[in-house]
């Protein structure tokens, strides 16, 4: 390394160059004696002669790079690197002596340029500097240049001051990750078996280190202590070890790459004892030059088995980790990369002659014998692939096994696990069909309406299991009723203790008052409260109260409000409902205020009942306008919050959007799955129940559901639960939106508030296919999802992985206009 003749332009008129004796001027000398400049310097003063000596010493040194900073021809300061080439490190310092050049950002510019020079031209990996903690301006400038504070301690040179150590690093780009473990089933402990003067893995370490394109080598092994000897062996070769996932290689790779900040990864398997450094260099060069995401010499395989090299980018690996869904793709690190040619750009190194059938890998005892035989023939320290192939032929070794047996085995397991057995569910459906109309109590749970009918047996958190033992992440959550999660912490215990003392008493229980008071505290429209069981109960009760209150009959509705005559009578499912009843209900359109206005102007309307949150929510003050119209026409406004309540916010959509109705109805999420619905509203209207409006149920006051609701509300409040669910919903929406954009799929739309959002398809066939495909991949979704507090980001990412596959298939199927193997069923329409 030479300090002479360096000239680095930063921008026109600002540059760095090596100094010579002539630069030891009075000006330079004056800086060192200026108290403003030398405040932070350890060398306070020098003579001009000493400065000359200083410059000469640096120019002679082999590890110091002293450069002057020049503005035009004016020398304004110096910068210096003290380099430790062995460790690829340097210590950096800078002084800007000319005070006119302060506060112009020159320090940052120079620092950045010197660092680039050190990283790119000298090949350093890390630069450190020391700065006094009181020198805030310098610290700021260094931070701007990319340095971070890594340490601080009392300064040896300055009393009462602290030295701050700052560092900037440029991580080595290319890492060879050697994967190995001790627990091979075919040849246990194979990596540590001796072959000549090294262990099998020792040969791998030794040979990989010889590749010129490799910046760093790391051993990636499992956490299990059985692998300790591998770490000891790697130490002998000065190779660091990463201990990661024992079974899921993909996870191990991702964690390892995060740990070592690798950007380009070379995957080497420990059983490739004779991996060839020249082949590594060729594949890395191919990778760099082709701009591929994945380059290898194994797809197609033309080199002997045992010379496998795969190179890929960090981004590609992370992408795989987000997408890969099936076991075999996660058990091995790269199948997804090489299978999905459409997603990743591939490059392939092919041998002149096809030697695919030749086997020089260590999997079986027989392989060990072959390798030991070869070791007698060629020098494993130097032999490349050609020499080894020649020796192989000379020894006349018989070829005997197939490539990638481990992967083939995983694929077999995939097919077994992928094709879920549903025999118990199917048998139950047949029995149910005979005794239960639709085979279920809710249409959306019925085999006729959900395209992947299973009987569920148990749940835990956000996961559920069917009667055949298949596991799913549940994004339906009991049609929105499950808000905390299945078997949530103390929820079951708290409800169980309620059951022990009794469930339904002959007279009211104190908890009824307690819960009613709580509801009044949190729901804006609640002055009085009545508990019932179903959403349909409370919406019907609300309509009756409104009719009694106004003395009118007509109801304007917008949304789904349950199965009772007044509500469902206006849909196509109106069999059995007298026309005179359905004639009294008129529907209006969400976000279309004129459609409501017309009804109110032309009819004597008792109640406007609506779901306040539909699709993507109200626009242009729609809810406020509805409120205004109801006031003008003296109509009772009912918000049906059976779905939006206890899901959007603690006070429901009415609190979220700041519009208070006269009556509102709640259900579903309030009690984490226990049957409870709630009617609340103005005392003036609610009090009619005391006085002629008959609303009464046997089970409205069952104390288990009431205590479940109290527990759920308190827990949501304590954990900021709604915010958490909404942030999961946002994560879901963001990811799904970008996937849909990526696939350019038409007829699919992301809709809904993040608390209750999902996909809407313009074709029933596609929706049905989607439901089935997702369920096959362990995701239960009807289309629109309900999140619960137990859902995790991991659950969301699993959803995204499955969706990725589903959209891929939908795209293919759409192009073929053909949903081949899927039984398409009509799904729930209300």
Sites of contact with ligand PMP (CB under 6 A): 534-536, 539, 559-562, 611, 640, 642-643, 667
Closest approach, Cβ 761 to ligand PMP, in A, equals 20
Q: Minimal CA–CA distance to 139: which of 186, 107, 174?
A: 107
Closest approach, Cβ 643 to ligand PMP, in A, equals 4
What span, in angstroms and rounded, lies between the C-alpha atoms of 317 and 322? 9
Q: Minimal CA–CA distance to 725: which of 795, 667, 671, 802?
A: 795
Say if residues 527 and 641 touch (Cβ distance below 8 Å). no
Closest approach, Cβ 558 to ligand PMP, in A, equals 10
Neighbour tally for 580: CB within 10 Å: 8
Which one, 174 or 669, has the nearer CB to ligand PMP? 669
Closest approach, Cβ 552 to ligand PMP, in A, equals 22
**Which residue is it, tokens 């085995």?**
409
With a CB cutoff of 8 Å and minimum separation 6, the contacts of 211 are 176, 266, 277, 278, 280, 281, 284
DSSP 3-state assignment of 83?
Answer: strand
What span, in angstroms and rounded, lies between the C-alpha atoms of 800 and 781? 12
What span, in angstroms and rounded, lies between the C-alpha atoms of 20 and 411? 69
What span, in angstroms and rounded, lies between the C-alpha atoms of 119 and 125? 6
Closest approach, Cβ 536 to ligand PMP, in A, equals 3
Q: How many whole angstroms from its chain centre is CA 515?
A: 38
Which one, 643 or 775, has the nearer CB to ligand PMP? 643
Which one, 113 or 753, has the nearer CB to ligand PMP? 753
Q: Where are the alpha helices (DSSP H) in 558-637?
A: 565-568, 579-582, 593-602, 622-632
Closest approach, Cβ 647 to ligand PMP, in A, equals 11
Phi first, then psi, for residue 238 (nearest 5°) are 60, 35
Closest approach, Cβ 108 to ligand PMP, in A, equals 58
Q: Minimal CA–CA distance to 640: which of 517, 525, 554?
A: 525
Q: Which residues of 535-584 form beta strands (DSSP E)?
A: 554-558
Which one, 244 or 559, has the nearer CB to ligand PMP? 559
Closest approach, Cβ 559 to ligand PMP, in A, equals 6
Which one, 140 or 830, has the nearer CB to ligand PMP? 830
Closest approach, Cβ 758 to ligand PMP, in A, equals 14
Residue 72 — left, alpha, or beta (φ > 0 → left; ψ -120 to 50 → alpha)? Answer: left
Closest approach, Cβ 668 to ligand PMP, in A, equals 7
Which one, 471 or 589, has the nearer CB to ligand PMP? 589
Which one, 636 or 643, has the nearer CB to ligand PMP? 643
Which one, 68 or 562, has the nearer CB to ligand PMP? 562
Q: Minimal CA–CA distance to 173: which of 129, 209, 119?
A: 119
Closest approach, Cβ 562 to ligand PMP, in A, equals 4
Which one, 633 or 647, has the nearer CB to ligand PMP? 647
Q: Within a 13 Å sphere around the CA of 379, how many CA atoms are in the beta-carbon half? A: 2
Closest approach, Cβ 543 to ligand PMP, in A, equals 12
DSSP 3-state assignment of 214?
Answer: coil
Which one, 392 or 590, has the nearer CB to ligand PMP? 590
Which one, 611 or 795, has the nearer CB to ligand PMP? 611
Closest approach, Cβ 576 to ligand PMP, in A, equals 17
Which one, 176 or 642, has the nearer CB to ligand PMP? 642
- Torsion angle of C-alpha atoms 452, 454, 459, 465, degrees rounded to 10: -90
What span, in angstroms and rounded, lies between the C-alpha atoms of 92 and 74? 22
Q: Minimal CA–CA distance to 613: which of 558, 542, 673?
A: 558
Give the DSSP H or E segment for 274. none
Q: Which residues of 407-452 form beta strands (DSSP E)?
A: none
Reply yes or no: is the peptide bond before residue 198 cis, omega within 30 of 0: no
Q: Minimal CA–CA distance to 653: which of 752, 746, 767?
A: 752
Give the DSSP H or E segment for 249. helix 249-260
Say if residues 157 and 42 touch (Cβ distance below 8 Å). yes
Closest approach, Cβ 611 to ligand PMP, in A, equals 5
Say if residues 295 and 345 touch (Cβ distance below 8 Å). no
What span, in angstroms and rounded, lies between the C-alpha atoms of 271 and 150? 39
Q: Minimal CA–CA distance to 601: which of 625, 565, 645, 635?
A: 635
Closest approach, Cβ 658 to ligand PMP, in A, equals 20
Which one, 177 or 532, has the nearer CB to ligand PMP? 532
Closest approach, Cβ 537 to ligand PMP, in A, equals 7
Which one, 141 or 782, has the nearer CB to ligand PMP? 782
Closest approach, Cβ 652 to ligand PMP, in A, equals 12
DSSP conformational letter for 769? H
With a CB cutoff of 8 Å and minimum separation 6, the contacts of 203 are 195, 273, 274, 380
Which one, 319 or 611, has the nearer CB to ligand PMP? 611
Token couple for 135: 């020198």
What span, in angstroms and rounded, lies between the C-alpha atoms of 194 and 201? 9
Chain position whose Cβ is nearest to ligand PMP? 535
Q: Minimal CA–CA distance to 666: which of 806, 533, 763, 808?
A: 533
Closest approach, Cβ 240 to ligand PMP, in A, equals 56
Which one, 306 or 612, has the nearer CB to ligand PMP? 612
DSSP 3-state assignment of 436?
Answer: coil
C-alpha dist (Å) from residue 194 to 178, 191, 368, 798: 18, 8, 9, 43
Which one, 567 or 735, has the nearer CB to ligand PMP? 567
Which one, 308 or 640, has the nearer CB to ligand PMP? 640
Q: Minimal CA–CA distance to 319: which of 350, 349, 351, 342?
A: 342
């Amino acid at each position: 390394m030479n300090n002479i003749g360096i000239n680095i332009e930063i921008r026109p008129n600002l540059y760095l160059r090596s100094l010579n004796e002539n630069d030891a001027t009075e000006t330079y000398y004056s800086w060192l004696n200026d108290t403003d400049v030398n405040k932070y310097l350890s060398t306070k003063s020098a003579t001009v002669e000493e400065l000359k000596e200083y410059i000469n010493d640096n120019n002679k040194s082999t590890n110091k790079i002293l450069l002057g900073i020049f503005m035009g021809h004016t020398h304004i300061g110096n910068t210096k690197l003290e380099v430790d080439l062995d460790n690829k490190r340097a210590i950096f310092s800078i002084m800007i002596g000319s005070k006119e050049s302060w506060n112009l950002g020159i320090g940052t510019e120079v620092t950045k340029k010197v660092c680039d020079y050190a990283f790119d031209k000298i090949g350093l990996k890390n630069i450190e500097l020391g700065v006094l903690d009181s020198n805030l301006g310098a610290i700021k400038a260094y931070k701007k240049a990319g340095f971070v504070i890594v340490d601080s301690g009392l300064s040896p040179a300055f009393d009462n001051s602290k030295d701050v150590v700052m560092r900037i690093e440029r991580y080595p780009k290319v890492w060879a990750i050697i994967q190995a473990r001790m627990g091979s089933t075919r040849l246990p402990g194979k990596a540590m078996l001796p072959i000549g003067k090294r262990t099998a893995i020792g040969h791998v370490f030794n040979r990989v280190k010889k590749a010129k394109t490799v910046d760093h080598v790391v051993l990636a092994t499992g956490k299990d202590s059985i692998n300790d000897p591998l770490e000891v062996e790697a130490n002998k070769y000065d190779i660091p070890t990463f201990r990661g996932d024992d079974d899921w290689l993909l996870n191990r790779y991702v964690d390892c790459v995060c740990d070592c900040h690798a950007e380009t990864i070379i995957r080497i398997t420990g059983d490739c004892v004779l991996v060839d450094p020249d082949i590594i260099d060729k594949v890395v060069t191919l990778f760099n030059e082709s701009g591929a995401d994945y380059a290898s010499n194994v797809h197609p395989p033309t080199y002997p088995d045992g010379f496998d090299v795969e190179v890929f980018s960090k981004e590609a690996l992370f992408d795989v980790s987000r997408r890969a869904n099936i076991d075999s793709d996660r058990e091995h690190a790269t199948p997804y990369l090489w299978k999905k040619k459409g997603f990743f750009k591939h490059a392939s190194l092919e041998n002149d002659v096809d030697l695919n059938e030749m086997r020089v890998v260590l999997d079986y005892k027989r392989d060990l014998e072959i390798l030991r035989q070869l070791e007698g023939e060629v020098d494993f320290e130097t032999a490349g692939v050609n020499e080894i192939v020649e020796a192989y032929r000379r020894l006349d070794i018989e070829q005997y096994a197939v490539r990638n047996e481990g992967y083939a085995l995983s694929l077999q397991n995939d097919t077994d696990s992928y094709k879920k057995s549903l025999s118990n569910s199917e048998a139950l459906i047949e029995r149910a069909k005979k005794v239960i109309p639709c085979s279920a109590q809710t249409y959306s749970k019925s085999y006729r309406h959900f395209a992947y009918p299973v009987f569920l047996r148990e749940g835990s958190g956000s996961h559920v299991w069917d009667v055949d033992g298949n596991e799913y992440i549940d994004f339906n959550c009991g049609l929105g009723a499950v808000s905390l999660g299945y078997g949530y912490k103390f929820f079951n215990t708290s409800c169980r203790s309620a059951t022990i003392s009794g469930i339904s008493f002959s007279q009211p229980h104190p908890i009824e008052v307690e819960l009613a008071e709580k509801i009044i505290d949190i729901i804006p429209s609640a002055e009085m409260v009545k508990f019932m069981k179903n959403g349909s109960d409370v919406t019907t009760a609300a309509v009756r109260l409104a009719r009694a209150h106004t003395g009118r009959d007509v109801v304007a509705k917008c949304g789904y409000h349950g199965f009772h005559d007044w509500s469902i009578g206006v849909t196509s499912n109106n069999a059995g409902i007298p026309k005179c009843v359905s004639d009294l209900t008129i529907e209006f359109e969400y976000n279309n205020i004129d459609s409501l206005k017309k009804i109110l102007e032309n009819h004597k309307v008792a109640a406007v009942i609506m779901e306040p949150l539909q699709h993507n929510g109200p626009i242009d003050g729609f809810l406020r306008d509805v409120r205004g119209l109801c006031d003008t026409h003296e109509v009772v406004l009912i918000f049906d919050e059976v779905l939006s309540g206890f899901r959007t916010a603690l006070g429901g959509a009415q609190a979220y959007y700041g519009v208070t109705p006269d009556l509102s109805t709640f259900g579903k999420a309030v009690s984490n799955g226990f049957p409870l619905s709630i009617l609340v509203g103005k005392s003036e209207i609610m009090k009619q129940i005391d006085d002629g409006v008959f609303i009464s149920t046997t089970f409205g006051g069952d104390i288990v559901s009431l205590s479940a609701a109290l527990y759920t509300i308190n827990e949501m409040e304590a954990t900021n639960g709604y915010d958490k669910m909404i942030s999961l919903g946002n994560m879901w929406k963001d990811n799904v939106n970008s996937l849909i954009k990526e696939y350019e799929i038409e007829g699919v739309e992301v809709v809904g508030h993040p608390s209750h959002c999902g996909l809407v398809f313009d074709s029933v066939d596609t929706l049905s296919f989607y439901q089935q495909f997702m369920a096959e991949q362990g995701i239960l979704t009807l289309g629109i999802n309900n999140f619960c507090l137990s859902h995790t980001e991991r659950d969301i990412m699993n959803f995204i992985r499955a969706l990725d596959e589903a959209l891929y298939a939908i795209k293919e199927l759409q192009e073929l206009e053909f949903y081949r193997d899927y039984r398409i069923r009509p799904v729930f329409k209300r």
